Amino acid sequence: MTTKEPPIVIKKYANRRLYHTGTSTYVTLEDLAAMVKRGDEFAVFDAKSGEEITRSVLAQIIFDQEGKDGQNLLPINFLRQLISYYGDSMQAFVPTYLEHSIKMLTENQAKFRDQFASAFGKDAFGMMEEMGQKNMEMFREAFAMFTPFTKMATPSASGHTEKSAPANEVTRSDDLAALKQQIVEMQKKLDQMGGN
């Protein structure tokens, strides 16, 4: 029978420094965030009082992450609603509900990734990038049609400027039809994923 290892002890000193007792080194909140992502269990104690302060340190990590551009996970309405539960009769039920919700999200995370990969293939993001490039090319062609005062000239592979022929209307409509078909196929795959 395998016994679970005790959590790593982190001590927090009055100068706000965090000391990792396992490695005998000082660590930062970023280091603790990396430990969480690796699945390392740790408990943080106030070095002077011995009081466990893991919850407040984890909350500080979340606060720091939320402060970074592009790192926001907590919508403002969610935060407001969460604050409103403090002191409310529902307060006792909120932690259990949130814990259950995040557990379900974690369990479904791998399933969602697998479904996404099977629906769109391993190079799903490459496909999206290719579609984006095609959209940009169509935008450039459309813009050229509505700007009669710009020169219809593009640099050739040799670097010399050559006059380009007017866009072939048949090719443009074929490209548009192909793009529409890709969008229809992608929507079907998304519908299939949603139905599982």
Q: What is the pLDDT along the chain (196 residues), one digit of tens a residue?
A: 456 789 999 999 988 899 999 999 999 999 999 999 999 999 999 999 999 999 999 999 999 988 887 778 888 998 999 999 999 888 888 899 889 888 888 888 777 777 777 776 656 556 656 665 665 565 555 555 544 444 444 444 444 544 544 545 556 667 667 767 777 676 676 666 655 4
Put residue 13 in one of left, alpha, beta given phi > 0 → left and psi -120 to 50 → alpha.
beta
The domain limits of the chain are 1-73, 74-114, 123-150+168-195
User: For residue 123, what pLDDT is reported?
Assistant: 60
User: In which element (H, E) is residue 107 found?
Assistant: helix 94-120
Burial of 47 (0-12, 13-18, 19+ CB in 10 A): middle
Note the pLDDT of residue 126: 60
51 DSSP 8-state letter: -
Quote the tokens at residue 191. 């519908």
Q: How many helices (H) and strands (E) does the chain have?
A: 6, 6
What pLDDT, on a 0 to 100 scale, did the predictor assign at position 18?
A: 96
Give the CA dihedral 169, 175, 178, 183, nearest 10 degrees: -120
Q: How far apart are the C-alpha atoms of 139 and 144, rounded to whole Å?
A: 9
Predicted pLDDT at 42: 96
Number of other residues whose CB lies within 10 A of the CB of residue 12? 19
The secondary structure element, H or E, covering residue 123 is none
Q: Which amino acid is at 68?
A: K
Rounded Cα distance between 41 and 44, Å, is 10
Is residue 47 within 8 Å of residue 19, measured between CB atoms? yes
Q: What is the pTM of this model?
A: 0.54
Burial state string for 23-33 with b = 16 or more CB within 10 A and e = fewer than 16: eeeebebeebe
